[in-house]
Amino acid sequence: MLENSIRRMPRAQDMVRMNTQELRDTFLISNLFAPGELRGQFTDLDRLVVGGIMPAARAVELPKHKETGRAFFLERRELGAINIGGAGKVTADGKTFALDRLDCVYVPMGSKVVTFESVDAKDPAKFYFLSCPAHFAHPAAMMKSADAAPVNLGAMETANKRTIYKFIHQGGIQSCQLVMGLTALEPGNVWNSFPPHTHWRRTEIYFYFDLGAQVLTHFMGEPQATRHLFLHNEDVALSPNWSMHFGVGSGNYKFIWGMAGENQVFDDMDAVKPLDLK
């Protein structure tokens, strides 16, 4: 179920006073997937909702929720979802999209009945989704991972060789303000989004997966007052617009990044020099 509470973010000057458990209670979301359930959390990060849907024998419908303040969930919202499990289907007002692993679907504002299902309950789909406010109904659409215009970044020498797949963005699936994609690190590479950056005009959320039993350290906070979280497979790290967001794992992994805010320009970011970090 979608939680009734809203995950609220502290000010940067308050974050530095938080202990480990307070940091985890504020910035970490875990256990998004359970068979036959939709689980999620409203946040005050540009009103983003983060969630996971794992259909089993029956389809799971996107519920209405009092926090939207509307008659149905997507009356004034848009939604993007990426499947990290077995083959699945998403149906929005009678239009069905078939999603294999790592495919993405966009569901626009105004969609009244949205359902998620698995093709095979023994190998269930796992839809990770983000939703944010919208002001215009762009067409419903999906994109295969093979069509996501991969961008290769980093190098083996710096242990950050990775491929970025952009799904919902200015040059791909059109949306009002939601931006979504995923990054896959090559074997032997462990650093993501490094050298780091901030972007005051957008908040960002990271969902880490394909970690197996590995552990990952997610770094956050202002560049001169860094903090960190230890994360496990399928954990989420929330990042306010004043915070950096980068991580290092004990092996390679993948993560889904999502943003909403003042603009959708992917490279609108303020670089941070690694030697300036504290």
Q: What whole-number distance in Å separates Cα of residue 154 and Cα of residue 190?
A: 11
Environment class of 276 (CB within 10 Å of its CB; exposed 0-12, middle 13-18, buried 19+): exposed
What number of other Cβ atoms are within 10 A of residue 198's Cβ?
20
- The span from the CA of 134 to the CA of 124, in Å, is 30
Q: State CA 274 to chain mean position distance.
A: 25
Residue 263's pLDDT is: 67
Specify the pTM. Answer: 0.95
Question: From CA 127, how far away is CA 142, in angstroms rounded?
Answer: 13
Q: Which residue has the tokens 């690190």?
A: 185
Q: With a cut of 80, say whether residue 260 has pLDDT above it.
A: yes
Among residues 193, 88, 181, 175, the alpha carbon closest in space to that of 134 is found at: 175
Give the Å distances, CA to CA, from 247 to 18, 22, 32, 196, 208.
20, 20, 20, 9, 10
Q: Could you tell me the domains of the chain?
A: 12-276 (2.60.120.10)
> What's the pLDDT band for 31 if we cut at 50, 70, 90?
very high
Task: Label residue 4 by pLDDT band (50, 70, 90).
Answer: confident
Q: Which residues does 176 contact at the CB level (< 8 Å), separation at least 6?
A: 78, 109, 132, 133, 134, 135, 136, 138
Mean pLDDT of 164-170: 95
- 197 confidence band (pLDDT: 50, 70, 90): confident
Query: What pLDDT score does 134 carry?
Result: 97
Range from 106-115, 153-162, 245-254, 266-275 carrying the lowest mean pLDDT: 266-275
